Structure 1
Amino acid sequence: MIADYTEAPVCHVDDLVDGELKEVRVGDTDVLLARADGQYYALFPKCSHYQGPLVKGLLNGHRLVCPWHNACFDIRNGHRLEAPALNGLPTHEVRIENDQVFVRLTTDQESLENPMSAPDETNTETYVIVGSGGAGAFAAEGMREGGFTGKIIMLTESSEAPYDRPNCSKDYLQGKAPDEWMPLRSDEFYKDYGIEIRTGQLVTSLDPTEKRIELASGETITYDKALLCSGGKPNVLPGLDADLKGIYSLRSLHDSQTLRELGKEGKRVVIIGSSFIGLEGAMSLRKLGSEIDVVGLEKVPFGKILGEKIGHVIQGWHEKEGIRFHLGRKVDYIEGEGTVNAVILDNGERIPADFVLLGLGVKPRTDFLKGVLLEKDGGVKTDNYLKVTNGLYAAGDIAHYPVTDGFQRIEHWKVAGQQGHVVGLTMAGKNEPYEVIPFFWSNQQGRRINYVGHATKIDDIIYDGDPEKDDAFLALYIQDGQIKAAAGLKRDQDIIAIRELMHEGRMPSIETIRNGLKWVKELKKA
């Protein structure tokens, strides 16, 4: 606690209007001031996720959304409402005197855990989480936050407790993030809240009828409720020699560590797949000094997701850094006796390679499930509470969850984390439906592209700003006569506003948007 409880006037009572944010100083401390429903609130000014400047975010009612990765907080108590932040924000006292707003510092902590229940040894109920990714990590905390006091067991094939997986293709791979940054929580945290994380545990069978889980070790675990968040298994190249050395994927902390050491040696790397993970890997390995060639089936990277214009722009960013592209091409075979030495394309081109990184997407890891009907892609279908069947739930990469026009499955960190948090609350008895608009981000050569919504095809694109000429732009994607998604560069508030409007069912018509809608102003309308 701050010993002298510093207090200072920060503004006049009419200086801010509802929905407005301002950063002020109280003594030597920066404070975020927010106004909603005629009331002032004071909070820690940086997001507890990656320290994003919250003053550049957006306030919708009492929901404060971070501009960088769309973590969300309640300004009334600082509680974290949405992933990817794990912790909430400290708050400070506010009072009004003689039309002046005073803030009194009450804490010097940078972040606070949401209130959670302690485990109770007399509660014999057992909840099992299969998987330790974002969904599993947030689910365990959601269970305690929802009041569950029984036993929580997290089973993971990994040798690691939950860690910051998105960083594996970015700063961590580049050697800019130390090992101590990667764990989501300390060992003490999991011990204090009775969350038993069992690493190196391969689940071979889960029978929801018997509520029984079998492990490769031969051990059997029974449960009262279970959550499937087993994530995805990287796709492999068809016909690839399984014994050929020098073929890697980028899915885990171990993968990132291995690639980082190889990348420092100035290797020749061929990346097969022009996916987000593939190009983030290309960016990071290039920064380590490797020579990079990217092979992709698409004629333009991200053309089906972001549109060809933005795809060309992103390709240009990478080419300026020395990354070479071979697009619209298939791999005929990988050459090498025991170890990779070249990749041969379908047009006969030979690309020398010391190692190959596969960026071909993932397939849901569900082969251990018994008596559960799988979707064509291997995922599982849930209801709007992410329930699969009696006592069994699913979240993250494997979950097909209902939306207004069918079902969708999203493979992104924020989605997995928020699904985990919601389903954890539900399993604890809070019964909260999952109704969050998808959001993801990608770092492409130091430029953060934010994407909100979900479009399975692009009928048309409305641009605000020219991606080929402007340093900041917004693209809105039309599918079946509706705005289904949006992507932006340096348009953080607009992306947040679109997401909030989508969530509230208040997206304007396409005609209104074409006429130049001002997103932030629209968001603040009653």
Structure 2
Amino acid sequence: MLTDYMEEAVCGVDDLKDGELKDVRVGDTDVLLARVDGQYYALHPKCTHYQAPLSKGLLNGNRLVCPWHNACFDVRSGHRLEAPALNGLPTHEVRIEGDQVMVRLTTDKESLENPMSTPDPANNTTCVIVGSGGAGAFAAEAMREGGFTGNILMLTSSSQAPYDRPNCSKDYLQGKAPDEWMPLRTPDFYADYGIEIRTGQQVTRLDPQKKEIELSAGEGQPTERITYDKALICSGGKPNKLPVPGADLNGVHVLRSLHDSQQLRDLGQQGKRIVIVGSSFIGLEAAMSLRKLGSEVDVVGMEAIPFEKILGGRVGKVIQGWHEKEGVRFHLGRKVGTIEGTDTVEAVVLDNGDRLPTDAILLGLGVKPNVDFIAGIDREEDGSLRTDKQLQIADGLYVAGDVATYPTADGSQRIEHWKVAGQQGYTAGMNIAGQEMTYQEVPFFWSNQQGKRINYVGHAEKIDDVIYDGNPEQDDNFLAFYVQGGEVKAVAGLKRDTDIIAIRELMQYGQLPAVDKIRKGVDWKAELVTK
């Protein structure tokens, strides 16, 4: 049990330079020490997302960035600044005594919620969130953080309150993450902050002119109508279907939900043969997880090399090799011709006649925006909704996540990443609360491929050239810079966490070095400091 007076000298006043981090101990408690503009700060040392050691991250001014998934915190207050972390970091008191830095423990908590308002019964304003993914979860909290005290209603077709969806293809699918790890918040949290979540709700129509939402109440039941003052659409994506004979047989699965992951985990634990159609990030994460459970796994992909369009051929081949080493079989440059079976799938027949016997199929063919219920709003060619810089599409109506096409300096973008969805939800929620924020974050995503985490920042529509720092085929760490139109637009990295953080911070402020300088080699942390 901590006392109010547990205090120790942890270093000399000149031991750290501005921008440096150091793990220290006060008694039996680990503490992270940071120095910014000559001032020392002491915080909880692990990220509140997945407990990454923050001393392995990077400090840019007051921004402390996690090395694993790029969550971001303010070292001055401990407040969470960016997804995927929901909570902030507890802080401890720091004082200078002579030439020593003294830290006094003031809390034994491992995380703290950002300051949020509670609902005011006298405020009858209603905001409705359609969707319960990362965007919806962060939006609801941002509304309270931004000072909104009205009613918040979240409508979701899922049977679950917001949960950690990225884990559905990783540790949860492997049986390493228990059910209790998956919810983002407890029911008590949502009750305390007046966030009403209605699961199992099918929104059939949203009318931006009337500011009205219709819900299906089931056959023979009257339609329920809800009026809103402001609303957020973050309804996510619908899995693309496989347009071949037999695709409607039992045993054809997708991986978009906790329930989907549970079903696939059961199959994997039984050692079933599984064919994955689509060599996407989710598809190959699932291949990794199902293989670890003991399944025989075949992957069918139209591409000659997995991820070639996103990561380039060399990196794609390396990742394919990681999977093949673990027994995953690839059938690339191939399409599915037909699926055989009576009631349940029995085999996948490829366009070259090869027959793959199977007990189940997992489709990893991407998604399309789930927006069919929205009336009176034009769609983009891909079915998404075009927003302004505040993520608004109509009076009082906002969009975030997979369904949003938003403006950037390089043109419009639509990004299907968890961190992006969370940050967009946060921005939209703050705007609903009246804070007038602009969304202008550089995209970031991560993928776990056979236990190796690839981090990726930026966005490249096509790859004109790739610059490598390190050898992907031989080194256990590298950076790959993707050049489009004479500029580096995206970067992927393996075990180069602080470099990726520095690169994203430089991208964020339009200060990335020119291609010629990057070809010669850059000390990325030093480059960030000089900016």
Give the TM-score category using the shorter length.
over 0.9
Which residue number corresponds to residue 55 of structure 1?
Answer: 55
Q: Is the 8 A contact 2:247 2:339 kept in 1?
A: no
Measure the CA separation in 2 of the matches of 1:26 and 1:345: 62
Cα displacement (A) at 1:239: 3.1
Which residue number corresponds to residue 443 of structure 1?
Answer: 448
Cα displacement (A) at 1:12: 0.9
Which residue number corresponds to residue 469 of structure 1?
Answer: 474
Does 1:288 pair with 2:293?
yes
Q: 3-state SS of the aligned residue for 2:172?
A: helix
Which residue number corresponds to residue 211 of structure 1?
Answer: 211
Aligned residue runs from structure 1 range 298-313, under 5 A: 298-313=303-318
Does 1:271 pair with 2:276?
yes
Does 1:253 pair with 2:245?
no
Measure the CA separation in 1 of the matches of 2:290 and 2:521: 41
Q: Is the 8 A contact 2:20 2:35 kept in 1?
A: yes
Cα displacement (A) at 1:24: 0.5
One-letter amino acid matched to 1:8: E
RMSD value, Cα:
0.8
Measure the CA separation in 1 of the matches of 2:149 and 2:335: 53
Q: Is the 8 A contact 2:246 2:338 kept in 1?
A: no
Cα displacement (A) at 1:2: 2.4
One-letter amino acid matched to 1:231: G
What is the TM-score normalised by the length of structure 1? 0.99
Cα displacement (A) at 1:430: 0.4
Q: Any idea what the Cα deviations from partners look like across 1:62-106, whole Å, max 9, x if unmatched?
A: 000000000000000000000000000000001011111111110
After TM superposition, where is structure 1 displaced by more than 6 Å over at least 4 residues in a row?
none
Cα displacement (A) at 1:400: 0.2
One-letter amino acid matched to 1:244: L
Cα displacement (A) at 1:5: 2.7
Does 1:129 pair with 2:134?
no
Q: Is the 8 A contact 1:8 1:27 kept in 2?
A: yes
Equivalent in 323, 340, 343 of residue 348 of structure 2: 343
Which residue number corresponds to residue 220 of structure 2?
Answer: none
Measure the CA separation in 2 of the matches of 1:203 and 1:347: 42
- What percentage of residue pairs aligned between the two structures are identical? 72
Measure the CA separation in 2 of the matches of 1:185 and 1:426: 22
One-letter amino acid matched to 2:367: V
Measure the CA separation in 2 of the matches of 1:273 and 1:367: 25
Measure the CA separation in 2 of the matches of 1:312 and 1:26: 47
One-letter amino acid matched to 1:61: G
Q: Is the 8 A contact 1:162 1:185 kept in 2?
A: yes
Q: Is the 8 A contact 1:243 1:338 kept in 2?
A: no
One-letter amino acid matched to 1:47: C
One-letter amino acid matched to 1:460: D
| Gaps in structure 2 of 5+ consecutive residues | 218-222
Q: Any idea what the Cα deviations from partners look like across 1:323-364, whole Å, max 9, x if unmatched?
A: 000000011011111110000001000000100000000000
Measure the CA separation in 2 of the matches of 1:63 and 1:352: 52
Which residue number corresponds to residue 326 of structure 1?
Answer: 331
Measure the CA separation in 1 of the matches of 2:248 and 2:58: 52
Q: Any idea what the Cα deviations from partners look like across 1:46-67, whole Å, max 9, x if unmatched?
A: 0000000000000000000000
Which residue number corresponds to residue 182 of structure 1?
Answer: 182
Which residue number corresponds to residue 44 of structure 2?
Answer: 44
Equivalent in 500, 504, 508 of residue 499 of structure 1: 504
Measure the CA separation in 1 of the matches of 2:149 and 2:450: 45
One-letter amino acid matched to 1:293: D
Aligned residue runs from structure 1 range 40-119, under 5 A: 40-119=40-119
Which residue number corresponds to residue 148 of structure 1?
Answer: 148
Cα displacement (A) at 1:151: 0.2
Q: Is the 8 A contact 2:244 2:339 kept in 1?
A: no
Q: Is the 8 A contact 2:244 2:336 kept in 1?
A: no
Measure the CA separation in 1 of the matches of 2:365 and 2:359: 19
Cα displacement (A) at 1:406: 1.1
Measure the CA separation in 2 of the matches of 1:29 and 1:377: 51
Measure the CA separation in 2 of the matches of 1:60 and 1:283: 35
Measure the CA separation in 2 of the matches of 1:5 and 1:105: 7
| Gaps in structure 1 of 5+ consecutive residues | none
How many residue pairs get aligned? The number is: 526
Q: Is the 8 A contact 1:21 1:59 kept in 2?
A: yes
What is the TM-score normalised by the length of structure 2? 0.98
Equivalent in 323, 345, 368 of residue 373 of structure 2: 368
Q: 3-state SS of the aligned residue for 1:284?
A: helix
Q: Is the 8 A contact 2:56 2:498 kept in 1?
A: yes
Cα displacement (A) at 1:517: 1.0
Cα displacement (A) at 1:243: 3.9
